[in-house]
């Protein structure tokens, strides 16, 4: 019997450019097969970046992670998710404001849901943050892949102001910069 070790995880935590690069460069990257930026959680089919940024589609900027569960497990991805953004601010990450920047976990299975809820409870119980976590936990919806120019954005645009002022310091803080 062959067991497929590839699984998916889908997270929203502010700008997808930040999350994408964090999950592509962190120390367990040998278990990460692919990270794709996209949109999820709204009502508009096939949304564009401009539509999502308007705040009227209901979608969040998300990343979808294809990972090898024999090399990295879902709990490890959750641990990185918690430290990669501020899950205590509703619809905001730094200067990025709007429902498209909300913190969310879109689960692909009942076990992912259970692990996500348990992880939130644990983080709140140990006071990982001074404020309670407001991360939404929702069943996976349709994942819309973002436009090509959003994929690998940081790696292709390291000198862009947003990359220099927001993403690079975040990578340095997490000690995962290359």
Q: Which residues are catalytic?
A: 15
Containing 120, the helix (H) or strand (E) segment is helix 110-125
Contact of 124 with 58, CB cutoff 8 Å:
no
Interior CA angle at 67 toward 73 and 72, to 5°?
A: 25
Tokens of residue 55, six digits: 């705040």
Strand-pair partners of 6: 68
- Running DSSP on this structure, what letter comes out for residue 32? E
Tokens of 90: 């509703």
What are the CA-CA distances from residue 163 to residues 17, 175, 177 (Å)? 9, 16, 12
User: In whole angstroms, what is the distance from residue 151 CA to residue 133 CA?
Assistant: 28
**Whole-angstrom Cα Rg for the chain:** 15
């Amino acid at each position: 019997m062959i067991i497929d070790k590839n699984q998916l995880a889908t997270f929203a935590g502010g700008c997808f450019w930040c999350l994408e690069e964090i999950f592509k460069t962190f120390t367990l990257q040998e278990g990460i097969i692919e990270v794709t930026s996209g949109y999820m959680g709204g009502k508009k089919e096939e949304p564009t970046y401009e539509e999502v940024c308007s705040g009227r589609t209901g979608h969040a900027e998300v990343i979808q992670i294809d990972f090898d569960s024999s090399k990295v497990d879902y709990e490890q991805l959750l641990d990185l998710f918690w430290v990669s953004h501020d899950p205590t601010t509703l619809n905001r990450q730094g200067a990025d404001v709007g429902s498209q920047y909300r913190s969310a976990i879109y689960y692909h299975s009942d076990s992912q849901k259970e692990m996500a809820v348990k992880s939130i409870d644990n983080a709140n119980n140990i006071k990982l943050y001074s404020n309670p976590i407001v991360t939404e936990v929702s069943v996976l919806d349709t994942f819309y892949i973002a436009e090509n120019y959003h994929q690998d954005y940081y790696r292709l645009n390291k000198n862009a102001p947003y990359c220099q002022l927001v993403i690079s310091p975040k990578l340095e803080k997490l000690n995962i910069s290359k």
